[in-house]
Structure 1
Amino acid sequence: MNQRTARRSLVVAAAIAALAYLQPARARAGDAEACFTASEEGQRLRDDGHLRDARARFIACGAVACPALVRSDCAGWLSDVTARVPTLILSAQDEQGQDVADVQVTLDGAPLAARLDGKAVEVDPGEHVLRFERAGSAPVALRLVVREGEKLRRVSARLARPATARAGATTPGGGPIAPREDQAASPPASSLLLPIALGGVAAAGGVAYAALGLSARADADRLRTTCAPRCAEADVDAVRTKVIAANVAFGVGVAALGGAVAALLLRDSMPAAPAAAAVHVVPLPGGAAAALGARF
């Protein structure tokens, strides 16, 4: 090998060595850039409420190949986002109230669960529409608002067979009838208005009964010690009126209390329409009778 050939061999070896050194550096630079990109995307997705996608980005930028500073930040963000991701436990029952598992569920039109297995599923916070579908049953849509950090929230749907009379039915415009949409919330708060109102009536009746009864007793004692048995008829009538009023208040309070208890026991089955209640008082000789009427 002459001197010229030896020099050329040295140049080629140096070039190969330089490429071998620069290639890992380029790879490291590319990995670092991907880490920074994942970090930025994760923060943006988190702020927009897309917590599940944000968590995937934070997992990526927390990899060992990422710079230590980025890994540290992403690890903290990952822990925070994981705690904030809501979870739901989905279930469905047939017409007899029996649990069914062969149900498909979509979230805002996207697949969420191919089968109900009792395990919690993760969703992003916000307003969503869950659609439950099962062969032979009418689909059910539930509209609900999911909150950040809400864990193991139970959402259940009651599936029923489509009514024969509605098979092939259409809207006045000619389109198919949309599936029924239920609410995933608890019984409406309006169902508590009746028991609360009746409870207030019962409390007021009790207060009135106590006040009138004590006043009537005080007046009667005063008459016994001052003028009995020759007291003025007007004074006696005044005491008698207070006694009657106390009895009326007592009857109203008892009736209202009973109605409040009944309304609380039945509120789960009460419709959302407002309920109306009325207390009827009928004066009787020596007292009064009270009747409670309610329309559910």
Structure 2
Amino acid sequence: MNQRTSPRLLVAAALSALACLQPVHARAGDAEACFTASEEGQRLRDEGRLREARARFIACGGAGCPDLVQSDCAGWLSDVTARVPTLILSARDEQGHDVADVRVTIDGAPLAARLDGKAVEVDPGERVLRFERAGSAPVELRLVVREGEKLRRVSARLARPGAPGAGAGAPGAGAIRPREDRAASSPAIGLFLPIALGGVAAGSGVAYAALGLSARADADRLRATCAPRCAEADVDAVRAKILGANIAFGVGVAALAGAVAALVLRRAEPEAPAAAATAAVHVLPVRGGAAAAVGGRF
């Protein structure tokens, strides 16, 4: 006796099979998305885009991902969260009062629509913050933000366009300003080296004259009283004065040459910081006199 299969029974069996297969496909698709999020998160982390990397690690650390992926992403998420820097932004008007209606961008992208005193997260690296407020000149601050740096305070002073100090950041905030030349801002620093060397030259000249005259007077006295049978000690004293006069003469000439060179090079390179100029005078006693040399870096 043949029995025909009911159409309803066939439909029910097909629906049951489809219901069993559908979760498998869904789970396979979820696992693939988890692996993709894990790989993207690692790449973004290595590129320094920590905030984007954290979002990927949150996605692959969810309950729908395989246990191994969840474990890895949870560890990476903890590490990245600790490394994300945070800034506390503030701004003041010309009178020094706090202002809140300030828009801030970072590298041209929106960062804060308003200042509320709360910390904001940024990625590490060299960043340019721009503070904008209606009726005030915009202020740009360049910062080097470090990984793991938390609650760094960054402030800007907002003033009317054209007002003194308009567009400048608060002291130490990293405002973009033209390079200041220390020698130009303090001319006395640039003149210190030639003045000092000139003083050495003058002092050496005085010493040379004093020792030379004294040695000559002693030599004349010895010639008139005891020559050629004078005591060796008296003769050595005259020789010592002559040697000292020669050394003083050498030092004076070297110092004078150094002072002239410092002045010439300072005029030729007015932007060179005076603090970088150094000079040295070397005097070597030789038989019957002294040798002197001057060297330096200007």
**RMSD (CA atoms):** 3.2
Corresponding residue for 2:106? 107
Corresponding residue for 2:3? 3
Deviations 1:185-227 (A, max 9, x none): 49x9x99xx9xx9xxxxxxxxxxxxxxxxxxxxxxxxxxxxxx
Alignment pair present for 1:12 and 2:1: no
Alignment pair present for 1:150 and 2:130: no
Deviations 1:70-106 (A, max 9, x none): 1000000000000000000000011111111110000
Corresponding residue for 1:121? 120
Amino acid at match of 2:68: L
Among all aligned residue pairs of Structure 1 and Structure 2, give the percentage whose two residues are the same amino acid: 79
C-alpha separation between the residues in 1 aligned to 2:109 and 2:174? 22
Amino acid at match of 1:41: E
Conserved 8 A contact 2:156-2:168: no
Alignment pair present for 1:184 and 2:198: no
Conserved 8 A contact 1:143-1:181: no
C-alpha separation between the residues in 2 aligned to 1:5 and 1:42? 54
Q: How many residues align?
A: 183
C-alpha separation between the residues in 2 aligned to 1:113 and 1:29? 40
Deviations 1:19-46 (A, max 9, x none): 0001111111111111111000000000
C-alpha separation between the residues in 2 aligned to 1:30 and 1:181? 53
C-alpha separation between the residues in 1 aligned to 2:157 and 2:273? 24
Residue 111 of structure 1 aligns to a residue in which SS? Answer: strand
Amino acid at match of 1:4: R
Deviations 1:102-159 (A, max 9, x none): 1000001111001111000000001111000001100000011101000001110011
Residue 156 of structure 2 aligns to a residue in which SS? Answer: strand
Residue 32 of structure 1 aligns to a residue in which SS? Answer: helix
C-alpha separation between the residues in 1 aligned to 2:16 and 2:24? 13
Amino acid at match of 1:126: G
Corresponding residue for 1:26? 25
Conserved 8 A contact 2:159-2:167: no
Residue 4 of structure 2 aligns to a residue in which SS? Answer: helix
Q: Which has the larger radius of gyration?
A: 2
Query: What TM-score do the two structures reach when normalised by structure 2?
Result: 0.56
Conserved 8 A contact 1:101-1:116: yes
Structure 1, gaps ≥5 residues long? 166-178, 198-272, 277-296
Structure 2, gaps ≥5 residues long? 190-271, 276-298
Corresponding residue for 2:56? 57
C-alpha separation between the residues in 1 aligned to 2:140 and 2:163? 20
C-alpha separation between the residues in 1 aligned to 2:274 and 2:30? 66
C-alpha separation between the residues in 1 aligned to 2:79 and 2:173? 28
Query: What TM-score do the two structures reach when normalised by structure 1?
Result: 0.56
C-alpha separation between the residues in 2 aligned to 1:153 and 1:163? 29
CA pair 275-184 structure 1, distance change in 2 beyond 3 A: farther
CA pair 48-164 structure 1, distance change in 2 beyond 3 A: closer
C-alpha separation between the residues in 1 aligned to 2:11 and 2:133? 70
1:9 Cα offset (Å): 3.4
Amino acid at match of 1:96: Q
C-alpha separation between the residues in 1 aligned to 2:24 and 2:51? 32
Conserved 8 A contact 2:158-2:167: no
1:17 Cα offset (Å): 0.8
